[in-house]
C-alpha cells in the first residue's frame, strides 16, 4: 500500500516543514519589531527624539525638586552655602568615578584586547585602589574644611544669643540678650548680616532644629543644650522645621525665621514684649 504510515510522499513533508520554518521566522521577526507595549518600533530618529525628551523631562522634574522654601540648594547664609558647596563637590566627585568606571567598562566591551593591555594586578591596584583613594581623599579633606565653617567657634565679640526650646509640638524662642523681650512661639526673630547663636534644648522628647536655607540641623535634647550658629545674608523670611520624628504632631512642628535689619530687629523684639504685656 502506497499510503501506509511512513511511506507517504516526502515532498509534501518537506514543503510543510519549509512552510513552518518560514512562518516561525516571520513570527520571530515580527515579535522583535514591536515594543513591549505592542506597537511597532518607531523609526530610529523618532526613538532618539523620545529618548531625549524623556531625559529632559526627568532632568526638569529633578531640578524642580531642588526648589522651594526648604531647599538646601538655595542658601541664604554662609553655613548653608558651605553645605550646598559640599553637595556640589561630592556630586562632581561621584560623577567622575562613575564616568571613569563606565568608560573603562565600555572600552573593555567595545575595544577588543583593551582589557588584556593591563594585568589583573594593575587593574586592581590602579582602578580599584588608586583611583578611589585619590578622589575620596580629596572629598574628605574638602568636607572637613567645610565642616569647620559650621562650628560655633569663639568670636571677637559675643554674638546675639537666642534660646530655642522644643516641645510637643511647637518651638518657643526667648531672647536673653534683650531685656524685657517676650517669648515668641513658632517665629524666630534674628538680625540679618550678624551671627546669631541658637541655644537649642527640648522639654520632652528629642527634636531637631533645621532651617535649610540658613544652616545645618541640630538635635534638641532634653536636659542638654546644643549651640547652632546662623547668619542670614539678607532680611527675609525663612522656613524651619523639626527634622526628627517626635510624635503624632510632628508634621505640624514647623516655624519661620524672620531676619530683620539690625535696627528693626531690636524694635521688633521690643514690640513683641509690649504686645505681650498688654
By the 8 A CB rule, do 154 and 164 touch? no
DSSP string, the chain: -TTSTT-S-HHHHHHHHHHHHHHHHHHHHHHTTB-TTSSBPPPHHHHHHHHHHHHHHHHHHHHHTT-STT-TTS--SHHHHHHHHHHHHHHHHHHHHHHHHHHHHHHHHHSTTTGGGS-HHHIIIIIIIIHHHHHHHHHHHHHHHHHHTTS----SSPPEEEEEEEETTEEEEE-TTSTTPPPEESEEEEETTS-EEEEEEESSS-EEEE-TTT---EEE-BT--EEEEE--SSSEEEEEEE-S--STTGGG-EEEEEEE-HHHHHHHHHHHHHHHH-
Distance, CA of 166 to CA of 1 (rounded, Å): 103
Please give the pLDDT value at position 61. 64
Give backbone dihedrals phi and psi of 202, rounded to 5 degrees, phi first. -140, 155
CATH number of 160-277: 2.60.40.420
Please give the pLDDT value at position 149. 76
All CATH 2.60.40.420 domain ranges in the chain, comma separated: 160-277
- Residue 207, CA distances (Å) to 163, 173, 185 in order: 14, 15, 16
Q: And the C-alpha cell for 115?
A: 582589557
Count CB atoms within 10 A of the CB of residue 218: 20
- Residue 17, CA distances (Å) to 8, 29, 31, 113 in order: 15, 18, 21, 43
Residue that the C-alpha cell 502506497 belongs to: 2
Please give the pLDDT value at position 272. 57
- Residue 27, CA distances (Å) to 20, 23, 30, 33, 37 in order: 10, 6, 5, 10, 17
Please give the pLDDT value at position 63. 63
pLDDT tens for the chain, 278 residues long, are: 444 444 444 444 444 344 444 444 444 344 444 444 444 554 556 667 777 777 677 666 666 666 678 888 899 999 999 999 999 988 988 888 889 889 888 888 888 877 777 788 887 888 788 888 888 888 889 888 888 877 777 777 889 999 999 999 999 999 999 888 889 999 999 999 999 999 999 999 999 999 999 999 999 999 999 999 999 999 999 999 999 999 999 999 999 999 999 989 988 988 655 444 44
Please give the pLDDT value at position 62. 66
Please give the pLDDT value at position 51. 74
Residue that the C-alpha cell 581623599 belongs to: 137
Count CB atoms within 10 A of the CB of residue 243: 20
Amino acid at each position: 500500500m502506497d499510503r501506509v504510515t511512513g511511506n507517504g510522499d516526502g515532498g509534501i513533508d518537506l514543503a510543510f516543514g519549509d512552510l513552518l520554518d518560514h512562518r516561525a521566522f516571520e513570527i520571530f521577526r515580527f515579535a522583535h519589531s514591536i515594543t513591549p507595549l505592542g506597537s511597532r518600533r518607531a523609526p530610529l530618529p523618532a526613538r532618539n527624539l523620545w529618548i531625549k525628551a524623556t531625559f529632559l523631562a526627568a532632568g526638569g522634574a529633578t531640578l524642580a525638586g531642588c526648589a522651594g522654601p526648604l531647599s538646601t540648594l538655595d542658601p541664604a547664609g554662609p553655613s548653608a552655602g558651605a553645605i550646598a558647596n559640599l553637595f556640589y563637590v561630592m556630586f562632581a566627585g561621584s560623577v567622575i568615578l562613575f564616568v571613569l568606571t563606565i568608560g573603562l567598562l565600555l572600552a573593555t566591551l567595545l575595544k577588543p584586547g583593551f582589557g588584556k593591555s593591563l594585568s589583573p594586578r594593575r587593574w586592581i591596584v590602579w582602578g580599584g585602589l588608586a583611583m578611589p583613594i585619590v578622589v575620596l581623599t580629596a572629598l574628605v579633606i574638602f568636607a572637613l574644611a567645610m565642616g569647620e565653617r559650621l562650628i560655633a567657634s569663639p568670636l571677637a565679640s559675643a554674638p546675639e544669643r537666642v534660646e530655642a526650646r522644643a516641645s510637643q509640638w511647637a518651638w518657643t524662642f526667648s531672647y536673653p540678650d534683650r531685656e524685657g523681650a517676650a517669648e515668641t512661639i513658632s517665629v524666630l526673630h534674628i538680625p540679618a548680616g550678624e551671627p546669631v547663636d541658637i541655644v537649642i534644648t527640648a522639654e520632652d522628647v528629642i527634636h531637631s532644629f533645621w532651617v535649610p536655607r540658613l544652616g545645618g540641623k541640630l538635635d534638641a535634647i532634653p536636659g542638654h543644650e546644643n549651640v547652632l550658629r546662623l547668619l542670614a545674608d539678607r532680611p527675609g523670611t525663612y522656613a524651619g522645621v523639626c527634622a526628627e520624628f517626635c510624635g503624632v504632631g510632628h508634621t505640624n512642628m514647623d516655624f519661620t525665621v524672620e531676619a530683620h535689619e539690625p535696627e528693626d530687629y531690636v524694635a521688633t523684639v521690643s514690640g513683641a514684649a509690649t504686645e505681650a504685656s498688654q
